[in-house]
Structure 1
Amino acid sequence: MRHILFFGLGLIGLLASCREPFEPEIDPVDLNVLVVEGYLDSEGTPSLLTLNYTQPIQGQGQPNSLVLGADIYLESLGGERFPFIELGDGVYQFQHDISESDSYRLRIFLWDGTSYTSEELQPLITPDIIDVGFEENENGVEIFLTTQGDENADDFLWTYEETWAFRPPFTSLVKYVPETQEIVPRSNEERIDICYMSRRNSDLLLETSSRFQDQFVFRQAIRQIDQGDERLSVRYSILISQKAISKEDSEFWEILKKNTDDLGSIFSPLPSLIGGNIRQDQNPDAPVIGQVSLGVVRQKRMFIDNQEVAPWRPDVEDYFGCVTEPDTVLVANYDQYFRAGGNLPTTPVFLENGFEPIGYRYARASCVDCTRRGTNVKPDFWED
């Protein structure tokens, strides 16, 4: 019996050692397909169009996937052209107030002479967002909106941009000046105790209003912020954009969403099979992934203050292990401890009845200087 057991274990080990990762072969023609994505606002709000090429999953997004130096414009059926501005990294900006009663085509010209044209685009009039709100739940905070479709706008795509204020674990209102070897107060422009961070979401949020009575979409979930997230540690802002899309747009995004959710499965459809409303002029049968939409974008901004969700304890990995050092750095040792910038003075230390500090407690700069993770420049839209 023991011999059979040893033989069985040995066989299992042999099979495990011979197992190799499965890497399905994919036709190289499907690995360098132009991808065009964007929703162009027809009332002049800046909107972005992104261009890149598909890459193998193993490629980790090589830099050559970006499409640079393209000449892009929106052209009305009457021949009027509205150019895009290249922002870099394959991103192009459209900012024109155009007539919603006209029809248009997107024209793309690449540096190698290849050109692409969209199908005819008719601007869609997006209804206003009725309300935006939030509600606490057992996992954190859910942000939602309410809207209503109509006979011209049934399908919706939502995107959002987040901005939040945050503070480092330790505050320093002073700085060390190597030239004078003194510690002096920081100006307002030099503050490093409060900063701001922004993120643009990449989720696909879709809904069809005709699924609801009177096309009334009530409390559509937009964003879940889990407990411990730094976003709600001080003050948070979310700008939600609502975009009416055509039935064809909705079908494209649903397929893309499913493909994204299933990424890694051998049963997932290849991205090149998604298609869209963009065609190559030189070869209309060439694979292209892209669905460009055109219409009025409706936006609504909301702020959430930490006091509205307190108690909220942020759990920030970057600040794990942050401590204030127990020793006091005396005036004579300022240069030794602070010149390199790895340590920053935090708390002044005084003798009893003293008016001038005899030294400072200190901490690592990464635990004190919030500009290492964000910017100390307050956004123009920010409300305190």
Structure 2
Amino acid sequence: MKNRCYPKRLGWLMLLALGSCVDPYRPPEVTAPDSYLVVNGFFNSAPGTTTTIQLSRTQNLTDSKTPPAETKAQVTIESGSKVSYSLKEGSGGVYTLSGVVPQANETYRLRIRTAQGKEYVSDFVPVNVTPPVDSLSWRIENEGVQINVNTHDPTNNTRYYRWEFDETWEYTSPYYSAYELKNNRIVSRAEDVYRCWGSSVDKTIQLGSSARLSQDVISQRPLTFITGTSLKLGLRYSIQVKQYALTQDAYNYYDQLARITQNVGSIFDPQPSQITGNIRSTTNTSELVMGFFRVGTVQTRRIYIAKTQLPYWLTQTGVYTCLVDTLTPSKIIERQPAIINEFDASTYLTTSFDCVDCRLRGGVIKKPDFWDQ
């Protein structure tokens, strides 16, 4: 099945970010009259998991709104032995399937019928069993922390890999705030805004292959580098990596997609070209479809890095000036500053809110459920 992404004859279309797999490519701003289906799908064969297929549409670079979701579609997964499973529509063009585990020796394909009567179908693809992540290693280099992934397949059957990761970090504000002003009264602070947890999801395409090696081993494959002064290393940092086994066709698709979406920046970089996936339109063979349908398992691994394990690096909190003043209650009501603590019987230590409220640097005060593991 042929799916053509970024064809030259489209002009310069913006490729939507496919879940956590793709960064949008932003070439010179032009317009294009057509909108094409974007399919982000992975049939998860791990027991107890939910399969999610997300459908959306491309849009012009001039459009500032959220990319339109493809809703009210009929989405099914079909096996080579002609068993069909219907996905349930949720919100925002997300379709899910629970309680179904793909059979190891079976093949599957995705079928989509939109509310407008257009039909799309993928190739039949095998179930890729992903080997475990052997380890996530890190080392100190270049005044920062380099994190790598290691894995292998003793059967030498995988050869092609893809990784996704998300990060979580714990940090604090420069000052602890014990009081706050409410209804012109100084009261004990109801919420602790001193300690926060930030998070991010990597949106690059991370690939690796052992196809040219005698053994199916991936050793010290770089995932991410964190500058030593980064807020991510403020107190404690965690990274969770997801590993997927790919077919060679899927690897080639993501590799070409990565070259276009992540490397274009000069005339010496790869230029936009046609990308062939495994989904096509059955109602209009010339219509373009963006995406690659896969079936398989996913392996995960998480590590933690504490500040105490690192050299003394001065964390850049984003707050460069914290002027502290002593004010009386009447002045506090007049100026509305952040209150640190009592100074004496009649005055309080005060500063700016970005010096006491960690949420102003993008974090949340609720500790993640996994954090103490």
How does the TM-score come out when normalised to structure 1?
A: 0.79
* Partner Cα separation in structure 2 for residue 299 and residue 265 of structure 1: 36
Percent identity between the two aligned chains: 24
Q: Which residue of 1 aligns with 2:285?
A: 284
Residue from 145, 148, 152 that aligns with 1:144: 148
The structure with more helix, counted as a fraction of residues: 1
The count of aligned residue pairs is 341
1:134 aligns with 2:138: yes
* Partner Cα separation in structure 2 for residue 167 and residue 81 of structure 1: 48
Deviation readout 1:158-180 (Å, 9 max, x if unpaired): 1101111121222213333327x
* Partner Cα separation in structure 2 for residue 195 and residue 87 of structure 1: 30
Q: 1:92 to 1:136 in 2, by over 3 A?
A: farther
* Partner Cα separation in structure 2 for residue 195 and residue 45 of structure 1: 30
1:162 aligns with 2:167: yes
1:369 aligns with 2:367: no
How far residue 300 of structure 1 moved from its aligned partner, in angstroms, is: 0.3
Q: 1:224 to 1:50 in 2, by over 3 A?
A: farther
| Kept in 1: contact 2:37–2:55 (CA 8 A) | yes
How far residue 345 of structure 1 moved from its aligned partner, in angstroms, is: 0.4
Residue from 52, 55, 75 that aligns with 1:51: 55
Q: Which residue of 2 aligns with 1:358?
A: 346
- CA-based RMSD of the aligned residues comes to 2.8
Deviation readout 1:242-269 (Å, 9 max, x if unpaired): 1000000011011101111343557855
Give the number of the structure whose alpha-carbon radius of gyration is greater.
1
Q: Which residue of 1 aligns with 2:342?
A: 348
1:175 aligns with 2:180: yes
How does the TM-score come out when normalised to structure 2?
A: 0.81
Residue from 125, 137, 143 that aligns with 2:129: 125
How far residue 71 of structure 1 moved from its aligned partner, in angstroms, is: 4.3
Q: SS of the residue aligned with 1:63? A: coil
Q: 1:198 to 1:111 in 2, by over 3 A?
A: farther
Q: Which residue of 1 aligns with 2:308?
A: 307
* Partner Cα separation in structure 2 for residue 47 and residue 61 of structure 1: 30
| Kept in 2: contact 1:145–1:218 (CA 8 A) | yes
Q: SS of the residue aligned with 1:253? A: helix
Q: Which residue of 2 aligns with 1:293?
A: 294
Q: SS of the residue aligned with 2:125? A: coil
How far residue 47 of structure 1 moved from its aligned partner, in angstroms, is: 5.7
Q: 1:329 to 1:93 in 2, by over 3 A?
A: farther
Q: Which residue of 2 aligns with 1:13?
A: none
| Kept in 2: contact 1:40–1:293 (CA 8 A) | yes
Q: Which residue of 1 aligns with 2:264?
A: 263
Q: Which has the higher contact order (CA 8 A, sep 6+)?
A: 2
Q: Which residue of 2 aligns with 1:16?
A: none
Q: SS of the residue aligned with 2:174? A: coil
Q: 1:214 to 1:111 in 2, by over 3 A?
A: same
1:110 aligns with 2:106: no
Q: Which residue of 2 aligns with 1:199?
A: 200
| Kept in 2: contact 1:84–1:95 (CA 8 A) | no
Q: 1:214 to 1:196 in 2, by over 3 A?
A: same
* Partner Cα separation in structure 2 for residue 47 and residue 115 of structure 1: 21
* Partner Cα separation in structure 2 for residue 377 and residue 141 of structure 1: 26
* Partner Cα separation in structure 1 for residue 97 and residue 264 of structure 2: 31
* Partner Cα separation in structure 2 for residue 204 and residue 108 of structure 1: 25
